[in-house]
Each structure stands twice: as C-alpha cells, then as structure tokens.
C-alpha cells in the first residue's frame, strides 16, 4: 500500500541494469529519438539482449534497427533517466491471455457496411484508470454525418463493428470514433498511422467528431425509445439501471436485459431485487430468461402480484432472438437448467437466434420426464414449433449432447435437414447410473457448493445416510455466497436434485443407435487421465455418424468450458464450426 498517491498513472520501473541501454524513439521510423518525457517506442540493447530469431531472418530484420537496437513493441516514457511503460504498439491485442492480430481484425472490419474501405484502423488502447489493455477503432464513414439518416446509419455501423470485434477477438472496442476522410492521413506506403491517430486522439483533436457521434447516437436512441408507462415498468427500469450501472433516464420499456449487458450472475441479482421490490416469494429465473424486456417482465410480474399466472410447460427458452442466420438450439446438461448458456448466447447477438431447452419438472405441478423417448419427442416438437423448417443446428452440453443427437436423428427421420449436430464433452454411451447421492454431489459441485474432490471423498460415506442427513452435510460445507446468490434453500436444492435425478433415470438404459449425417464433438480437459485418452473414448461417436465427425479441442475442463474465463474462446470455436457447416 502506497503512503501517498503515485505521481504518474504508470509507476516508474527505474533505470536499466548495468550494461543495458534503453531509448524512446518515434515508432514510425524507429530511429528518431523522442524528447525527454515524451511517449514513444521503447528500444533496448546490450549483452543480455538476443541478437536474432532462429532460422527467421524476416522476423530478425523487422525487430532490430541499426546499431543493434531491439524494438520491444512497448510504448514507454523516459524522464530523468527513469522509465515508465504505458502500453503496446505491436499489431496485437491480448484478451484473457490470448494474443489476437490487429491486421486480421481490420480485414474483417473493412467489410462492414458504412466503413470506407482502407480507411479503418484498430489500435491497442488502454484508457486512463483501466487495469487491462483494450483497443479503439478509428474509421471514415461512407455516409455524411450531417445527413438526415446519419443517426440510423451510424448506430447500425457501430453495432456491426462491435459485433465483429466480439466474435473475432471476444472483446468490444473501448472506443469507436468516426473521422472525416481528410483527417485519416496515410503514410507514403499508403497505410494509416496508428500511432498518429492515437496521439491526435489524446491531444483532443477528435473531440468535435466524438461529440457529433454521441449527438447522433442520442437521436437514434430517442427514435427507438419507448417511455415507461406503468409503475411496475418504472420499478424494473430502476433495478435494471442499478444492476447494469446505467442511467434510469436512458431506460426504455423495450430495453432487453441481456442486450444491455446483463450476465448469468446479473440474472440472479435481478431475481433477488425484483422479489424484494414487489414483495413476491419468488420470481422464477426461467421467467426472467423468457421475459428479458422490461415491458414483458413487467406484465409477468403483474400477473404474479394478481396471482393470475398459469403458464404451460414449454422447453424452449429464447436467450437471444436477433439475427437472420440459422438458429441454434442448445440442450441443457444433466443439471437440467439453462442458466449456464446465458453468457454464450450473448455472442450471437445480431447474428442468429439462440434457444435453450430446459427440462420439465422445475415448476409446481410439472411432472418429470420418465423416458428418454418422451423427452426427445417433447423437445423435437418444440424445436419444430419454433423453427418449422430446416436446416437445423442442434447441440447439447454433457448429458444434453446425447439428447441433441437423438433430436437430430428424429428431425432427419421426418425428412428435415440437420446441418449441425454439436456434442459437447460427452461420450457415446448410456447415462451413468447416478444414485441420489451422486446427483446431489454433482449438482452441488456445478453450483459451487462443494469441490470436485468432495464428490469422490464424500460419496461412499454419505450413501448409507438418509437424504435429509446427506443434505445437511452438503449444506454445512457450502460457502454462504452461492447460497445467497442462488437463493437456495434445502427444499429447493432437494427438488433440483430430484429433477436432475429424473434425467439420469431416463437415461440409465440408454444406448445410442442409428446415425446422423454430420457431427461436431467438442472436448475439454478431462477430470482424470490424459486428453488423448479422453479423445480416444469420444471417437466412438464415429460409429453413429454417416460422415467422419470433427473433433474439436476447447479450453477449460468439463465444468468450466462455458464459465467467464473460457466462454470467450469457446464461442469463437463454436461459431467457427457453425460457419464451417455452411450455417
């Protein structure tokens, strides 16, 4: 802890070690020294610096300048002999530890409608106060920012730029700045100078253009703005704004919780705050997922308050409805819930609808499924109601992968075309015969109540106990945070285990048969053994596909491949496979 605030945003790193030299130069030519205290490219040389890349003269030539100075690619400042780093100038941006190429991103962004070709630059950028590096996009629009339709065109262009960035490198730009073409000067080689654009931005040279863009955005928002008309809508708008750190005055009755930035964790907070605000014993999470728009959720809350709600079971949960490409239908894992798919669905905005299928039995009066055939028939009919004609994209996570395979078979038997069958980290065999104890421990692990090691350690000693006694053991081990976030009670957890157990019971005699036309099998790091051994077991799926399945390695483990750390990379891999299948 510092006794006093630092003098600079970036802490001093000191002077170089003995024998090492450092200098700050103009990044454009790589040789012109910058004045004391001015930002530029950091270069170093000395006996501890390597002299070339092995068998790569091209890389060596681009990384070294005359007299042996090495171009680090870092942006730094040397003042009074002491150095501070402030970012990167190399053509990469690092997201979640993964390096992405800026030139590749720019190539895709050049195709966005509204962007003048070859007048776009994506630049690594770290905003003041931000702990991690992001990037900014500068571009010249093809349309006049003073034209009557400029607000609509600008809004559409910026949405498209954001979507491309999220899908390619899993991160939206921190800034998107439209600039007149005469301010986008090119070098003698015909390239835009990223360093010059950043310097002009930092000097405030683009302030007028940024202000104009914000003005147009306000006009575009006002055009689609729907005023809050009921007291319930106003209360929900206040809750939305508080959770998402937005202004209540900007909240429209047509605002969608997920499109505004809501995550799976935020859903739980919305549920808790909504129940408190309306003095309701429960607002089911599934209804929040089905009614993410303020006006729609307000109507559902009003029906709860008046006790006039009685919805029939529908397995389809629409997590994302925008876009024109073939929809994705994702089947729940063995825990039966679909909350795990919320963060994945956000990556499909403006590209394709994303539907999840949720098991039966959560709501009061709903019977459990009793056979796999009953479940598959119900889900297939729901898919057909939602999308009457193919081609279809069906996928499932863990237990849901087997069900997705069966749905794809059923659709093909009806004469429909299934162009994507995604099986996520599950082998081709009958469901493991989980007893109630194993269902309780497995679900508790997925909810963050116990560790994976606890499953193996506790199962033998817990089996002889009564269910009440087993539940007490899990409850005692559970940290308070997830219990509060999920609003779990022993009764709710017991019911959840029973729903999950009913699925295991359905699958206990299941054996795969017949085949589908195409299949993509995604596999993560196994809990035990090597990844090669796990892949060998997964390859049994080849017996149930009329073409050779694709086997795709994904980051993370079975229980973590869709969590916050891994879903950015998983979505890109998953979307690439959809594209590869012609969807």
What is the rounded distance in angstroms from the CA atom of residue 118 to the CA atom of residue 515?
48
Question: Which region, left, alpha or beta, applies to residue 282 given φ > 0 means left and ψ of -120 to 50 means alpha?
Answer: beta
Q: Answer whether 73's CB lies under 8 Å from 89's CB.
A: yes
Q: How far is CA 534 from CA 198, 426, 521, 553, 566, in A?
A: 48, 10, 12, 11, 19
The vertex-447 CA angle with 523 and 403, nearest 5°, equals 45
- DSSP secondary-structure letter at 481? H
Q: Are 324 and 309 in contact (CB under 8 A)?
A: no
Q: How far apart are CA 115 and CA 245, in angstroms?
A: 30
> Are the CB atoms for 423 and 541 separated by under 8 Å?
yes
Cβ neighbourhood burial of 449 (10 Å; 0-12, 13-18, 19+): buried
- What are the DSSP calls for 488-517, one per residue? --HHHHHHHHHHHHHHHHHHTT----S-BS
Q: Which residues contact 197 (CB under 8 A, 6 or more apart)?
A: 121, 123, 138, 184
Closest CA to 478 of 498, 492, 463: 492
Active site residue 502: no
Instruction: Reduce the DSSP state of residue 26 to 3 states and report it.
Output: coil
Task: Compute the distance between CA of residue 366 and CA of residue 358 in angstroms, rounded to an integer.
Answer: 13
Tally of CB atoms within 10 A around 407:
28
**Taking a C-beta distance cutoff of 8 angstroms, is the pair 327, 393 a contact?**
yes
Return the exposure string of 56-73: e unless at least 16 CB atoms fall within 10 Å of the residue's CB, then b: eeeeeeebbbeeebbbbb
Catalytic residue, from 39, 264, 398, 502: name it: 398
**Consecutive H or E run containing 355:** strand 354-357
DSSP 139-188: EEESS-TTSTTHHHHHHHHHHHHHHHHHHHHS---SEEEE--GGG--B-T
d(CA 346, CA 343): 6
Distance separating alpha carbons of residues 570 and 576, to the nearest angstrom: 10
**DSSP category for residue 498:** H
Residue with tokens 């940024």: 210
The residues annotated with a catalytic role in the active site are: 398
């Amino acid at each position: 802890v510092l006794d006093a605030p630092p003098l600079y945003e970036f802490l001093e790193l000191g002077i170089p070690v003995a024998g090492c030299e450092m200098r700050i130069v103009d990044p454009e030519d790589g040789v012109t020294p910058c004045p004391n205290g001015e930002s530029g490219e950091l270069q170093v040389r000395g006996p501890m610096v390597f002299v070339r890349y092995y068998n790569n003269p091209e890389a060596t030539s681009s990384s070294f300048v005359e007299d042996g100075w090495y171009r680090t690619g870092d942006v730094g400042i040397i003042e009074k002999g002491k150095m501070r780093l402030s970012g990167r100038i190399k053509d990469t941006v690092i997201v979640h530890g993964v390096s992405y190429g800026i030139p590749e991103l720019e190539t895709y962004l050049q195709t966005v409608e509204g962007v003048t070709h070859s007048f776009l630059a994506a630049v690594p950028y770290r905003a003041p106060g931000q702990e991690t590096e992001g990037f900014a996009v500068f571009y010249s629009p093809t349309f006049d920012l003073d034209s009557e339709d400029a607000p609509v065109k600008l809004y559409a262009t910026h949405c498209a730029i954001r979507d491309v960035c999220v899908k390619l490198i899993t991160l939206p730009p921190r800034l998107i700045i439209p600039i007149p073409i005469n301010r986008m000067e090119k070098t003698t080689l015909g390239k835009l100078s990223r360093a010059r654009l950043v310097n002009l931005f930092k000097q405030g040279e683009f302030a007028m253009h940024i202000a104009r863009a914000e003005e147009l955005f306000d006009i575009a928002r006002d055009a689609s703005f729907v005023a809050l008309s009921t007291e319930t809508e106003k209360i929900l708008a206040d809750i939305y704004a508080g959770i998402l750190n937005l202004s209540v005055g900007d909240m429209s009755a047509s605002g969608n919780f997920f499109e505004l930035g809501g995550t799976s964790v935020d859903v739980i907070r919305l549920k808790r705050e909504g129940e408190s605000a309306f003095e309701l014993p429960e607002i089911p999470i599934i209804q929040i997922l089905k009614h993410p728009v303020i006006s729609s959720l307000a109507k559902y809350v009003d029906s709860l308050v008046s006790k006039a709600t009685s919805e029939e079971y529908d397995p389809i949960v629409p997590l994302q409805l925008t876009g024109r490409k073939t929809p994705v239908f994702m089947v729940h894992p063995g825990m039966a819930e679909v909350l795990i798919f919320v963060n994945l669905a956000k990556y499909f905005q403006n590209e394709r609808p994303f539907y999840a299928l949720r098991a039966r039995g959560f709501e009061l009066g709903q019977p459990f499924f009793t056979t796999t055939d009953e479940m598959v028939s119900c889900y297939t009919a729901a898919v057909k109601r939602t999308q009457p004609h193919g081609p279809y994209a069906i996928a499932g996570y863990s237990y849901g992968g087997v069900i997705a395979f069966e749905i794809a078979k059923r659709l093909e038997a009806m004469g429909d075309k299934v162009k994507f069958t995604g099986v996520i980290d599950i082998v081709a065999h009958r469901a493991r015969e989980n007893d109630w104890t194993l269902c309780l421990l497995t679900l508790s692990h997925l909810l963050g109540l116990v560790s994976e090691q606890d499953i193996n350690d506790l199962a033998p000693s817990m089996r002889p106990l009564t269910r009440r006694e087993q539940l007490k053991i899990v409850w005692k081990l559970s940290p308070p945070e997830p219990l509060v976030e999920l609003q779990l009670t022993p009764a709710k957890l017991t019911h959840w285990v029973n729903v999950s157990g009913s699925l295991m019971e359905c699958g206990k005699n299941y054996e795969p048969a017949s085949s589908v036309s195409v299949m993509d099998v995604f596999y993560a790091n196994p809990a035990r053994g090597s990844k090669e051994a796990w892949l060998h077991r997964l390859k049994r799926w080849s017996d149930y596909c009329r073409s050779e399945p694709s086997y795709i390695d994904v980051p993370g483990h079975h229980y973590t491949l869709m969590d916050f750390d891994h879903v950015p990379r998983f979505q890109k891999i998953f979307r690439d496979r959809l594209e590869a299948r012609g969807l």
